């Protein structure tokens, strides 16, 4: 995970720098603790007991432990992509499924791989395969994303972003 | 092999495309809520807290993480305490039972009892910024029936929510696939 200083000084990656099948740098997070999970619930005011009450999660809902929230996974993916395209790129869209449950003790790897790059309306698009794996290499959040990276010399990525006409 | 009858009734099909009312989130995007959120996300990006640095970026001011607006629908300070309401009639509540449905969408009335989060889609167009008011509007973007490997009938209900600011600019769109089983 990058520090505030690294994010402040991030050098721009350009569309021309990216190759299809290229792996993005992983984010390694963890071990995840009950406290991390509780902190997320408190921050977004999600009071579902399966996220902080182990007795309820295991005894009532028959889960293995308290669970890391899907909303956290939904938020760490765009963060990971945002950091990759900073400062001038844009994370347009992402989609993912919720598969393996994430629980305290897990070591997480947020990952991405370029599957296609293309130009549309003078902007540089990159399609990615993305996910979050645990220490057993089990996929928890398989999905896809589309981001924009600026050209070295070309049209700037517009802000606010306007989706392409087709 | 299929077990039992279809669970996609005409009444449920009739809810496809239903658009809820546009609703304003209580309060505005503010620094303390943003700090708590970004720390819980473990994202120390100075664009979320350093005014001087944020002013030097293409965004021109302190902004929020991409889908932060989707977490702005918090309990307003008036009315019943939703946590107490959850446990008022059921001490074994899951903690969510007393929360009002603010999406404005009618309930999906089905015999299927469990609801799982099957997946999410997000689209991002602009970041919210300090002081922004956030509005949201939800609709049933799709309701389909599927069969599980065991032959049970499932409903997959896709709720699409659009988040806008006080200038009616679209900030982000989320879609959540809720599996009723």
| pLDDT tens readout for residues A132-153 | 999 999 999 999 999 999 999 9
Name the residue with higher pLDDT: B113 or B15: B15
- Measure A109 CA to nearest chain B CA, in Å: 14
Would A48 be classed as within a structural domain?
no
pLDDT at B98 over 80: no
Would A51 be classed as within a structural domain?
no
pLDDT at B150 over 90: no
- Predicted local confidence at residue B1, as pLDDT: 46
Domain region containing A91: 13-31+70-149
State the CATH number of the domain containing residue A89. 3.10.129.10
Mean confidence (pLDDT) of chain A: 96
| pLDDT tens readout for residues B23-73 | 999 999 999 999 999 999 999 999 999 999 999 999 999 999 999 999 998
Least confident of A74-78, A94-98, B54-58, B151-155: B151-155
Over range A117-131, report the average pLDDT.
97
Over range B93-97, report the average pLDDT.
83
- Predicted local confidence at residue B4, as pLDDT: 62
B interface mutation test: which of A49, A74, A76 has the most B CBs within 10 A?
A74
Over range A117-126, report the average pLDDT.
96
Judged by CB atoms closer than 8 Å, whether chains meet at B125 and A160 is answered as: yes
Domain boundaries, chain B: 10-25+103-180
Judged by CB atoms closer than 8 Å, whether chains meet at B122 and A93 is answered as: yes
| pLDDT tens readout for residues A41-71 | 999 999 999 999 999 999 999 999 999 999 9
Over range B5-34, report the average pLDDT.
94
In this complex, which of B46, B96, B118 lies closest to A47 when CB atoms are compared?
A: B96
Q: Which residues of A touch B58 (CB under 8 A)?
A: 87-88, 159
Would A76 be classed as within a structural domain?
yes
A interface mutation test: which of B52, B66, B75 has the most A CBs within 10 A?
B66
Q: What is the torsional sign of CA B150, B151, B152, B153? A: positive
B interface mutation test: which of A78, A89, A155 has the most B CBs within 10 A?
A78
Would A123 be classed as within a structural domain?
yes
DSSP chain B: ---S--S--HHHHTTTT-BPPPEEPSS---HHHHHHHHHHHT---GGGT-HHHHHTSTT-S-B--TTGGGG--PPPSSSS-HHHHHHHS-TT--S-TT----S-PPP---S---EEEEEEEEEE----BTT---EEEEEEEEEEEEE-TTS-EEEEEEEEEEEE-TT--EEEEEEEEEEE-
| pLDDT tens readout for residues B57-70 | 999 999 999 999 99
Question: Which residues make beta-bridge pairs with A93?
Answer: A146, B123
**Is CATH 3.10.129.10 correct for B10-25+103-180?**
yes
Distance CA A14, CA A153 (A): 10
């Amino acid at each position: 995970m990058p520090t505030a200083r690294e994010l402040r000084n991030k050098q721009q990656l350009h569309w021309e720098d990216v190759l299809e099948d290229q792996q993005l740098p992983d984010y390694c997070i963890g071990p995840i603790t009950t406290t991390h999970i509780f902190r997320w619930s408190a921050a977004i005011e999600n009071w579902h007991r399966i996220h902080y009450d182990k007795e309820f999660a295991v005894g009532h809902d028959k889960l293995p432990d308290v669970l890391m929230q899907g909303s956290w996974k939904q938020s760490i993916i765009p963060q990971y992509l945002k950091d990759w395209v900073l400062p001038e790129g844009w994370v347009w869209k992402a989609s993912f499924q919720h598969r393996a449950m994430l629980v305290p003790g897990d070591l997480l790897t947020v990952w991405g791989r370029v599957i296609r790059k293309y130009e549309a309306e003078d902007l540089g698009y990159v399609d990615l395969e993305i996910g979050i794996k645990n220490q057993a290499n089990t996929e928890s959040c398989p999905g896809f994303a589309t981001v924009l990276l600026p050209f070295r010399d070309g049209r700037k990525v517009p802000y606010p972003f306007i989706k392409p006409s087709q | 092999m299929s077990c039992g009858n279809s669970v996609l009734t005409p009444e449920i099909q009739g809810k496809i495309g239903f658009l809820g009312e546009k609703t304003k989130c209580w309060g505005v995007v503010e620094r303390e809520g943003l700090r708590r959120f970004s720390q819980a996300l473990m994202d120390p990006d100075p664009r979320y807290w350093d005014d001087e640095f944020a002013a030097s970026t293409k965004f021109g001011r302190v902004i929020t993480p991409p889908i932060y607006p989707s977490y702005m629908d918090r309990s307003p300070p008036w009315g019943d305490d939703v946590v107490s309401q959850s446990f008022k009639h059921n001490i074994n509540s899951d903690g969510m039972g007393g929360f009002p449905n603010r999406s404005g969408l009618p309930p999906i009335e089905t015999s299927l009892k469990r609801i799982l989060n099957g997946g999410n889609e997000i689209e991002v167009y602009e970041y919210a910024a300090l002081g922004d008011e956030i509005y949201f509007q939800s609709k049933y973007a799709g309701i389909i029936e599927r069969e599980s490997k065991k032959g049970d009938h499932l409903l997959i209900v896709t709720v699409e929510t659009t988040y806008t600011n006080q200038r009616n600019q679209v900030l982000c769109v989320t879609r959540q696939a809720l599996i009723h089983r």
